Copies of this chain bind each other. A is one copy, B any other.
């Protein structure tokens, strides 16, 4: 069998992001806007009253009490790294986000979204800080305008090149969205129907080698609240239209595995843990290599803000339980080295391995 050549930084980064089973069981605490809203709500304050100190504290607590369980932890450089880095467990690899929180309205009638890279920040700095990988969140509609698509694709290419230059794995998180004013929200039957197509087209696009992506962090390709088996309010008590079945969800995940040229993981996108456990179970069975879970794991802890002790108590009990639920749900996940890209651990080799490696590197 052939061997896939990886450079040293990419090889070591991938190995570190995965746990001992070769599965990505990763924690995201790089939320900015959404965490701010949660803390404001809990404290009965306006969003604008929740500042750096509040966000940094919340992120630090999640890092401190949950990173010991997850194979990697994703931080943002504004409110996360400065207070949380010291509390990252030594066995949890570090991913850092490259983009700015939020997006810029763009395109016809401002119905589309543009990603903005964080000013004063760079892949070079992510490497310098000792991170194991770079993450980029990208809003993308395969059926969007040519102009905005190209704009977004260029950003991915740019970050991909930097990740090559500084030799670290590139985790791309391309997510769909509803066109402003022209479409109902993503929690609608019409968007739910489009979702599999969007996620699959995204997978195909960013699997192209020109982007230099090493791991795709993807949305679950259907909205489980709209499957026949759960549409009757199973997750949140709200009855919705049934637009597909669980079998369709499995098929869509299987399709992603077919179309993706790299290992992929499932993101939690704010759904509750109950629903996310289903996402992870189905995705893992169909070929995903794990998860990168954010709010689904920890969001309840924000309700206790600003009572630090109660926040900690929640994280170190229910938060930890959530990890174990996801661990179980991802039992069938495909180790990254068994992804078709490599075939098996034996299929990976260091680029230019040999006596002159250190000169060529």
Contact = CB atoms under 8 A, between A and B. Distances in A.
Closest 8 pairs between A and B when the two form their complex, measured CB to CB: A12-B130, A8-B129, A77-B358, A120-B359, A82-B357, A82-B353, A9-B130, A52-B355
A284 to B, nearest CB: 20
A308 interface: no
Interface residues of A, number: 47
Contact of A118 (B77, B353, B358): B358
A234 interface: no
Contacts of A355: 52, 78, 82
A354 B82 contact: yes
A168 interface: yes
Given A77-B361, A83-B350, A125-B358, 17 more contacts: A8-B129, A11-B85, A12-B85, A12-B94, A13-B130, A16-B130, A20-B90, A52-B355, A77-B357, A78-B355, A81-B350, A82-B353, A83-B353, A86-B349, A90-B91, A121-B358, A130-B167
Q: In the complex, which of the residues A20, A78, A358 has the most CB atoms of chain B within 10 Å of its own CB atom?
A: A358
A127 interface: yes
Nearest to A79: B355
A18 interface: yes
B85 A166 contact: no
A20 B86 CA distance: 13
A13 B94 CA distance: 12
A238 interface: no
A213 interface: no
Contacts of A18: 90
A90 B18 CA distance: 8
Contact of A91 (B11, B91, B132): B91
A14 to B, nearest CB: 10
A121 B358 CA distance: 6
